[in-house]
Amino acid sequence: MNRVDSMTAPAPTVTPAAPVVSPGTSPATPTDGASDLDAIRAVVRDTLAPLTLKIDEGYYPAEVLRALGAAGTFRQHLASQNGRGTVDIQAALSAMDIVSQECMSTGFMVWAQDVACWYIEMSGNDFLKETLLPKLACGEALGGTALSNPMKYLAGIEPLLISAEETEDAFILNGTLPWVSNLGADHWFGSIFKVGGDEPRDVMAMVNTSWPGMELKQLAKFCGMEGTGTYALSFTNVRVPKTHVLGDPLLPYLKKIKAGFVLLQTGMATGLIEGCIQLCEAVEPRFAHVNCYLDDRPDELREELEDARELIEALSADVFNPSTDFMRSVLEARLLGSELSLRAANAAMLHTGASGYLHDAPAQRKLREAYFVAIVTPAIKHLRKELDVMAAA
């Protein structure tokens, strides 16, 4: 398949492109990533696009996520689930890119679901691989990641907020995590906690939001991304059976998942940037004569986006490379995604002018989404800190 073409294809909402596989021919095999992407485009056009505004205002689109899951969105990077038997980060990114072009809130939830699957796929836990992973990979079960705090903990930015006591067959968790996303009743998330007692260490496990002692609190109201099922998570003596452990010892496991975790986020950024460029392009007939006085014209942004996509694709093909240089490149690619998102969204506002400033205009929504790319963990400041530490080594 030609991945670049499939990624840069027009946004489903702008151009109802003819499907590559015409209806009536035999159904595509589930192992074909390209036909999955066509199915994902159809879900975005028919199911997601009508809800984009509602999601921005706070509606959690479970039905969209389940439809995206059925279309294969969450299994692309999973060798055990995608039918191709290979880790295909690039295909997962293409899927997230397509979704994020229309609605980055949903793109973010695709990422959350993708990494929840990634945690299990990369673990040695056969029980979860057989029971939970297939359900998460097809969207039958939904879930996310509570790794913002642990990622900051590992970068020396803040302490770990969840503590645990160990029993013979379980860990008992206590503490509170602020804003964890893609949650609801009976959702799953990956959690890292500090184990006390005789053998103090950090451990990671899958936890269910409906287990006794778990409470979801919707305390904050954000200026965007309101439909992403984001809650403060409170743990009161939550019993996590050892059958649900993902990483213990934690560090070697985290080393294995980190590049994928960070790289997968870049699909949100490339999709958002693509969407912003399309908004700029759409007003060319009206404003080209004066928009040429602006920085970051759509053709220039597109060159930069293609450079970024090319770079990310190369990194995606090498996701288990253990070298420091590789991790530096991954962090730099993620940083580039944030910087370009901010510029592209700024350009979308300036290019579209008053029509982009309307209450329901996509440009102002994308501006708020762009700031999310730049501040969600790892935020720009977090990435720069990690890169500085690497430069000094």
Partner 1 sequence: MTTNSKTDTTPRWICTVCGWIYDENEGDPDSGILPGTRFEDIPDDWSCPLCGVTKSDFITLDEYAALRAASAPTVRPRRARGQVGGSDAVVIVGSGVAGWTVAEQIRARDPDRPITLITADDGCVYPKPALSMAIGQGRGADELVEMSGAVKAKSLNVTLQAFTRIMAIKPQARRLVTPRGSVNYGDLVLALGASQRRRDFGGDATDAILRVNDLASYRRLRERLDGGAKHVTLIGAGLIGVELAEDLRAGGHAVTLLDLGDQLLGRLAPAPIAARLLDALKAKDIQFKPGVSLASLESNAGRYTALLSNGRALETDLVVSAMGLVPNIDLAQKAGLRVNRGVIASADDLRTSDPHIFAVGDCAEIDGRSYFYIEPIRRQAATVAASLCGENLPFERHPVAIRVKTPSLPLNLCPPDLSVADLGGWHEKTAAGADCRMDFLVHQQLVGYALAGSCVTQSESLQRAVIASASSLVSAA
Residue 277 in the binding site for partner 1 (CB under 8 A): yes
Cβ of residue 103: shortest distance to partner 1, in angstroms?
17
Residue 278 in the binding site for partner 1 (CB under 8 A): yes
Q: Which is nearer to partner 1, 46 or 295 (CB)?
A: 295
Which of 244, 297, 351, 382 forms a contact with partner 1 (CB under 8 A)? 297
Instruction: Give the whole-angstrom CA distance, residue 11 versus residue 15.
Output: 6
Q: CB-based contacts of 214: which residues, under 8 Å, 6+ apart?
A: 207, 208, 233, 234, 235, 238
Which of 292, 322, 323, 359 forms a contact with partner 1 (CB under 8 A)? 292
Q: What type of residue is 320?
A: F
Cβ of residue 169: shortest distance to partner 1, in angstroms?
34
For the window 2-41, what string marks contact with partner 1 as x by the rule CB under 8 A? ---x--xxxx--xx--------------------------
Q: Which stretch binds partner 1 (CB under 8 A): 116-124, 138-146, 148-156, 300-308?
A: 300-308
Segment 304-333, which members bind partner 1 (CB under 8 A)? 304, 306-308, 311, 325, 329, 332-333
Q: Which is nearer to partner 1, 151 or 333 (CB)?
A: 333
Instruction: Give the whole-angstrom CA distance, residue 233 versus residue 323.
Output: 35
Q: Which is nearer to partner 1, 55 or 283 (CB)?
A: 283
Strands (E), 90-161: 143-145
* Helix (H) / strand (E) containing 166: strand 162-166
Tokens representing 216?
């979801």
Backbone angles phi, psi at 123, to 5 degrees: -85, 175
Residue 361 in the binding site for partner 1 (CB under 8 A): no
Helices 104-122 and 362-375 cross at an angle (nearest 10°) of 30
Cβ of residue 332: shortest distance to partner 1, in angstroms?
5
**Contact indicator for 235, 302 with CB cutoff of 8 Å:** no
Strands (E), 196-278: 201-208, 214-217, 231-241, 245-247
Which of 289, 322, 323, 359 forms a contact with partner 1 (CB under 8 A)? 289
Residue 295 in the binding site for partner 1 (CB under 8 A): yes
Which of 339, 361, 368, 371 forms a contact with partner 1 (CB under 8 A)? 339
Q: Is 80 helix (H, G, I), strand (E, B) or coil?
A: coil
Place of tokens 């706070």: 58
Q: Which is nearer to partner 1, 80 or 355 (CB)?
A: 355
**Contact indicator for 356, 291 with CB cutoff of 8 Å:** no
Q: Which stretch binds partner 1 (CB under 8 A): 70-78, 149-157, 253-261, 335-343?
A: 335-343
Instruction: Give the whole-angstrom CA distance, residue 54 versus residue 276.
Output: 20
Binding site for partner 1 (CB under 8 A): 5, 8-11, 14-15, 277-278, 281-282, 284-290, 292-295, 297, 302-304, 306-308, 311, 325, 329, 332-333, 335-336, 339-340, 343, 353-355, 391-393
